[in-house]
């Protein structure tokens, strides 16, 4: 049998596995959007069954033999060789998990999600405590299964950001924290933009329609996706032709839904832009969560909070929301970029946002290494918010229950939000240098050059490169803090005139 025939067998098996995984993803999407509460227990069982089936298919000894044969085949193209190498790496890691563990993790995760929902309703962390403790026990076990050299949290970080370690992130966050504090101190001495007009009543239906317009404007393809409501905004993809985003609406906060749509829209554009002919294969998957978050932060902040973007959209904004008709673009630009230490990560400004991430990172490290008990999460959280952001946490809903990630078992995810902002700023600097007249294009609502740049430099590569390799290829440098700090300084000088 030729190498190409063997590769076709490999492709068929990988696509079968992808079919099962995406069927599970459909059930999870439904769980977080439309599932009636009475279906929660059965849904957990269904998702666990599919998770177990996918694991068994990917742990098949025949697949391992096939991958070993292909890994030494010179007749394969460069892309085919990369797919095989990455899949073999994934296969060997997957073999470390037992079917029993995979099923238990899926069942506990589904149960954890529903107790998180209930805990938020009751505004009481204790409702969530037991199931979260069970999940953390499994995540500690997973870290042991995956193996690590220095810190158990490294194993979980690597699942979201390949190569990331506690040692690297500790240094990165230490180097980032002081300049952010200095910039915050300078800003707090300046007169603050008036943002009271953002807290008027904004009709839910009007916000929904406006959000759809925002998604259309930045290029989201509604023939290949849709938007729905959920307690916590998220994006999920079943293939490049079916990418789902969700948002949430606060009728007394104009920014909440608007920039949520832009954020999730950035994720969705990435998923819709991946190579469709690589379905089920590594080169058809996103590079990392850090790069994925770079896409959401790129559209939400670098584009969406830019003055040119707001000026272009003032006519659309005032058509949907007449109460903002007398505000004007400049005050709106100042208001949506106002810096103010706050309680909720998803609604934080671009500067203090990273303090929210640092708190979660520190907390997760302690949970996984065992130096913090689950019952002590609220007190740790509240003290950290007081120390780092100077705010008092009034309750669990606005405190340690605000994020969905732990109920998904996504320990190690939070650092990718800051990494995403750093990559986004470095990418935005590169696209500006490489695209003459970009600011003028954005000012007239033309994002064609941006789309082409992202497709050429990010989307097409899938998992070909690690995050830092991709960054180096795109910008000529590995990840650098200076681009993000310069981006923030320039933006806030325009807002605060310091």
Residues classed as catalytic: 264
Q: Which of 482, 496, 196, 466 is nearest to 337 (CA)?
A: 496
Looking at residue 302, what DSSP letter applies?
I
- What are the beta bridge partners of residue 247? 229
3-class SS at 347? Answer: helix
Helix (H) or strand (E) holding 134: helix 126-146
**Residue 67 and residue 84 in contact, taking contact as beta carbons nearer than 8 Å:** yes
CA proximity to 232, closest of 359, 386, 389, 413: 413
The DSSP bridge pattern shows strands 225-229 and 242-247 to be: parallel
Residue 56 CA from chain centroid, whole number: 28
Q: Please give the backbone phi and psi of residue 402, each rounded to the nearest 5 degrees, phi first.
A: -75, -25
Query: Do residues 492 and 351 lie in contact, with contact meaning Cβ atoms separated by under 8 Å?
Result: yes
Q: Spell out the residues 6+ positions from residue 301 whose beta carbon is closer than 8 angstroms to its own.
A: 350, 421, 424
Q: What is the DSSP string of 208-271?
A: HHHHHHHHHHHT--GGGEEEEE-SS--EEEEETTEEEEEE---TT-HHHHHHHHHHHHHHHHHH
Distance CA 323, CA 259 (A): 19
How far out from the chain centre does Cα 233 lie? 10
- Tell me how many helices (H) and strands (E) the chain has: 20, 3
List beta partners, residue 236: 244
DSSP per-residue codes, 408-445: GT-TT-THHHHHHHHHHHHHHHHHHHHSTTHHHHHHTT
User: Collapsing DSSP states into helix, strand and coil, what is residue 308?
Assistant: helix
Question: Shortest CA distance to 11 belongs to which of 275, 284, 280?
Answer: 280
CB 136 within 8 A of CB 153: no
Whether the CB-CB separation of 493 and 187 falls below 8 Å is answered with no
Neighbours of 254 (CB within 10 A): 25
How far is residue 414 CA from its own chain's centroid? Answer: 8
Burial of 409 (0-12, 13-18, 19+ CB in 10 A): buried
Residues 6+ apart with CB under 8 A from 33: 228, 229, 230, 246
């Amino acid at each position: 049998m030729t190498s190409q025939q063997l590769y076709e067998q490999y492709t068929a098996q990988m696509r079968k596995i992808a079919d099962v995984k995406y069927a599970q993803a459909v059930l999870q999407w439904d769980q977080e959007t439309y599932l009636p509460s009475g279906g929660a227990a059965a849904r957990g069982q269904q998702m666990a069954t599919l998770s177990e089936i996918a694991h068994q298919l990917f742990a098949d000894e025949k697949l391992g033999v096939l991958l070993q044969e292909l890994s030494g085949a010179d007749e394969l193209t460069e892309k085919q060789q990369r797919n095989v190498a990455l899949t073999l790496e994934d296969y060997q890691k997957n073999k470390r998990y037992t079917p029993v563990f995979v099923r238990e993790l899926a069942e506990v995760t589904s149960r954890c999600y529903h107790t998180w929902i209930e805990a938020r309703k009751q505004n009481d962390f204790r409702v969530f405590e037991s199931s979260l403790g069970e999940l953390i026990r499994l995540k500690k076990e997973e870290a042991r299964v995956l193996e690590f050299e220095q810190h158990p949290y490294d194993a979980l970080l690597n699942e979201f950001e390949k190569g990331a370690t506690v040692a690297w992130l500790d240094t990165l966050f230490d180097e980032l924290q002081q300049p952010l504090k200095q910039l915050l101190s300078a800003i707090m001495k300046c007169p603050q933009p008036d943002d009271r007009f953002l807290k008027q009543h904004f009709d839910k239906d009007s916000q929904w329609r406006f959000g759809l317009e925002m998604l259309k404007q930045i290029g989201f393809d509604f023939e290949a996706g849709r938007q729905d409501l959920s307690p916590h905004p998220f994006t999920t993809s079943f293939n490049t032709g079916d990418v789902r985003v969700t948002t949430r609406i606060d009728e007394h906060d104009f920014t909440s839904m608007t920039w949520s749509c832009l954020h999730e829209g950035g994720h969705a554009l990435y998923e819709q832009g991946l190579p469709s002919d690589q379905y089920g294969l590594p080169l058809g998957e996103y590079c990392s969560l850090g790069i994925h978050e770079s896409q959401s932060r790129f559209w939400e902040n670098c584009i969406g909070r830019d003055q040119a973007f707001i000026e272009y959209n003032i006519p659309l904004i005032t058509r949907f929301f007449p109460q903002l008709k007398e505000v004007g673009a400049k005050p709106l630009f100042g208001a949506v970029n106002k810096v103010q230490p706050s309680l909720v990560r998803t609604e934080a400004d671009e500067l203090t946002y990273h303090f929210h991430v640092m708190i979660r990172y520190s907390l997760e490290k302690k949970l996984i290494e065992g130096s913090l008990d689950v019952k002590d999460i609220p007190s740790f959280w509240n003290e950290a918010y007081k120390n780092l952001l100077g705010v008092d946490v009034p309750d669990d809903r606005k405190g340690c229950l605000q994020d969905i990630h732990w109920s998904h078992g996504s320990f190690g995810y939070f650092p990718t939000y800051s990494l995403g902002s750093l990559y986004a700023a470095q990418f935005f600097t590169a696209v500006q240098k490489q695209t003459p007249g970009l600011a003028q294009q954005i000012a007239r609502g033309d994002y064609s050059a941006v789309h082409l740049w992202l497709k050429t430099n990010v989307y097409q590569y899938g998992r070909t490169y690690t995050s830092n390799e991709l960054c180096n290829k795109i910008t000529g440098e590995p990840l650098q803090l200076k681009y993000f700090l310069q981006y923030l300084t320039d933006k806030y000088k325009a807002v605060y005139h310091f």
